[in-house]
Structure 1
Amino acid sequence: MALKEHLKEARNRLFKSAIAVVICTVLGFLIYEPVLEALSAPVVDINEREGRSAALNFDTAGSPFDLMVQVSVFLGLILSSPIWLYQLWAFITPGLKTKERRISLSFIGVAVPLFLAGIFLAWLILPNAVRVLTDFTPSGFSNIITVSVFITFVLRLMLAFGIAFLLPVVLFGLNMVGLVSGRQILKAWRITVFLVCLFAAMAAPGADAMSMFYLAVPMLLLFFVAIGLCLLNDKRRARRTAIREADVAANADQASSLEGL
C-alpha cells in the first residue's frame, strides 16, 4: 500500500483499539468498587485477624477520583488486551510472510494467557506479600497507608508478574526467527538462573523473600519449558535443512547424469 493508505490503516486500527479500551474502561468503572474492596482486603484482614492497626487513607480531596480513574483505566487495558493486540497483529500481518504470520499469531495467542496468568498469580500472593511486609512494623505503631501508594504497589506487583511471564515467550520467538539456538541458551543455564533470580529480586515490589520466590519459580519453569521447545524447534529445523540439502544434491546428481547422456 501507499504511505497514505498505511497511515489510514494505522488510524483505523488505533481507533478500534481506543474504542475497545474506552468500553472496557467504562466496565472498569462499573466494577471499580468490588475490585478496590478485593485489593484492600489484605489490609482489612490485618485488623480483623491479627489484631494490628492498619488502614488505607486518601491524602487529598481529589485522590478518590484519581484512584478510580487509575484503576478503571488499568482494568480497561487488561480487559481489552486481546482486542488491541489483535489490531496490532492485523496491522503488521500484511507485510509478513505466511510463516511469519503463523509465528506472530501464535505469539499473541500464547502471550495474552501468560500475561493474564502472571497477573492472576500476583493477585493470589498479594495477601501474603502485604502480611509479610507489615510484619516489620514495630510494636505500638500503626500502618496508615496512603491509598495511592498501596495501589501503585499492587499495580507494580501485577505488571512485574505479567511481564515476567512474557519473557520466555520472547525467548522462544527469537529462536523461531533463528536469532538464538536452544543449545546456546542451554549452555548458559547457570547465567539464566542467576539473571532470573536477579530480575525477580528487582521486580518484586516488596522486600520479602517470598515475593521473589513466587516470581522466580514460575519464571524458571517457563524458561526451561521454552528451552525445551527451542531444542525441539532446532531439531526440526535441522531435519528440514538436511532434507533440503539432500534434495538439492539428488537434483544435482540427476542433472549431471543427464548431461553425461
Structure 2
Amino acid sequence: MALTLRRKGPSKFEQAADGSMTLIEHVRELRNRLFWASVAVVAGFIVGFILSKPAFDILQGPYCALPSSWELDRNGRWACEFVTLGPTDQLVVRLKISLYLGLIVGAPVWLYQLWAFIAPGLHRHERKWAYLFVGIAAPLFAAGAVLAYFVVEHGLAFIMESGVLGEPTQLEVKAYIDFVTTMLVLFGVGFEFPLLLLMLNVAGIATGRRLLSWWRVVIFLSFAFAAVASPDPGPFGMTLLAACMSALYFVAVGVAFLYDRHKGRGKELYEGIDDDAVSPLAETPEPVTAGDRVEVATTIESPTPVTRPLPLDNRYDDMT
C-alpha cells in the first residue's frame, strides 16, 4: 500500500480564510501562535544574554568617544568607566540589552506568527502590499537606528560641554543605556512615518496631491514630535530627526504621485472639483406657453360578468 503525505481536509489557513473556523478554534489558534512567539522571544533572550556584552561594547561607543569618560584604573591604565548607583544596576542593564536582542533575534518567528493569524482576513492584493510594507519597514527602522547611533555621539558632546559641571563628567550606566536605546527606537519609529502615508495612498484615502497639500502640517508635526519625544535636549538630534522625517515625507509624496499615475487617478469625471462647489448645469431658457389641449377621455365599457363555475361534483363525468 502506497503511503501519501497529502494533508486531509483544508488547512488552518484555508479554514480561517473561508470563515469555516469557529470562535473557539480562533481562540485556540491565537493561543498556539502566542505560545510559539513567546518561545521564540525566550530563545532569542538566551542568545541575547550571550551577546549582551559585545552589544554593550557597541552601545558605549559614543560615550567612550568623549575624553571625560576615561580614567585610570587600578592597574594604572586608561579605561572607559561608568558610574553605578545600585548593586543590581549592571545585571538590570544586561537583562534589558538581552531582551532587546531577544526581540530582534526572534523577530522572524513572532512576526510570522502574527502574520499567520492576520493574513487569512486579508484579500490577495492586501497580502501583496503587506509583504511590500514589511520589506520596506525593516530597512527604514534599521536606517533610523544607525542614524541615531551617530546622533548620540554628537548629542552627548553638546550635553557634556553645555552642562553646569563642564565636560569632565561620568554618566550612570543605567541612565545612559536608557538614553541610547530610547534614541534608537525613536529614530526607528520616526523613519516609519512615510509608510503610513503610503498606506493612505494605496487604500485610496488620500491622493498624492492631497498628501502634498498637507506639507505645512506635516513639517510642523515632525518638529513637534522630535521636540517632545526625543530625550536629547540638544538642537542637533531634534533638528536632524525632524529634517529626516520631512525629507521622507516628500519621498512618500513622490511615490504616491507615481502610483496615482499608474492607477490613472486624477482623470475621473469630478476630479479637481471642490466638495462644496455647485455642479454646472446647462440652462437654456424656454418661453412659457399654453399647454396642449387635453382630449376628453372616452368612457370605459363595463366588464362582462364572469360565469359562475359549476360545483366540483358536476364538473367531471364518471370516466374522468
TM-score range, shorter chain: 0.7 to 0.9
1:150-165 → structure 2 map (5 Å cutoff): 150-165=176-191
2:172 maps to: 146
2:205 maps to: 179
Is it true that 1:13 corresponds to 2:39 in the alignment? no
Structure 2 portions without partners, runs of 5+: 1-20, 72-79, 269-320
TM-superposition CA deviations, 1:18-59 (whole Å, max 9, x none): 2221222212111111221222233233236999xx852221
From 158, 179, 187, the counterpart of 1:132: 158
TM-superposition CA deviations, 1:175-213 (whole Å, max 9, x none): 211222221110121221121122222232211111123
2:104 maps to: 78
Instruction: Write the distance in 2 (CA, Å) between the matches of 1:234 and 1:141.
Output: 53
Is it true that 1:117 corresponds to 2:143 in the alignment? yes
Query: Cα distance 1:140–1:241, how it changes in 2: closer, same or farther (>3 A)?
Result: closer
How far off its partner does 1:134 sit?
0.9
Does structure 1 conserve the Cα–Cα contact (< 8 Å) formed by 2:69 and 2:81? no
Is it true that 1:100 corresponds to 2:126 in the alignment? yes
Does structure 1 conserve the Cα–Cα contact (< 8 Å) formed by 2:145 and 2:187? yes
2:8 maps to: none
Query: Cα distance 1:231–1:77, how it changes in 2: closer, same or farther (>3 A)?
Result: same
More moved, 220-229 vs 153-162: 220-229
2:253 maps to: 227
Amino acid corresponding to residue 118 of structure 1 in structure 2: G
Instruction: Write the distance in 2 (CA, Å) between the matches of 1:240 and 1:102.
Output: 24
From 40, 44, 50, the counterpart of 2:64: 44
Structure 1 portions without partners, runs of 5+: 243-261
Instruction: Write the distance in 1 (CA, Å) between the matches of 2:222 and 2:38.
Output: 34
Higher fraction of helix: 1
How far off its partner does 1:162 sit?
0.6
TM-superposition CA deviations, 1:39-86 (whole Å, max 9, x none): 2233233236999xx852221111111111111101211233333223
2:171 match: secondary structure = strand
How far off its partner does 1:140 sit?
6.3
TM-superposition CA deviations, 1:131-150 (whole Å, max 9, x none): 11111134667423221111
Identity of aligned residues (%): 35
How large is the RMSD of aligned CA atoms in angstroms?
2.5
1:143 match: secondary structure = coil
Instruction: Write the distance in 1 (CA, Å) between the matches of 2:51 and 2:109.
Output: 20
Amino acid corresponding to residue 249 of structure 2 in structure 1: F
2:284 maps to: none
What TM-score, normalized to structure 2?
0.69
Does structure 1 conserve the Cα–Cα contact (< 8 Å) formed by 2:160 and 2:166? no
Is it true that 1:60 corresponds to 2:86 in the alignment? yes
From 195, 209, 212, the counterpart of 2:221: 195
2:74 maps to: none
Amino acid corresponding to residue 230 of structure 1 in structure 2: A
Could you say which structure has the larger radius of gyration? 2
1:253 maps to: none
1:216 maps to: 242
Instruction: Write the distance in 2 (CA, Å) between the matches of 1:161 and 1:193.
Output: 16
Higher-RCO chain (CA-CA 8 Å, sequence separation at least 6): 1
TM-superposition CA deviations, 1:115-154 (whole Å, max 9, x none): 1221121122221121111111346674232211111111
Amino acid corresponding to residue 63 of structure 1 in structure 2: D
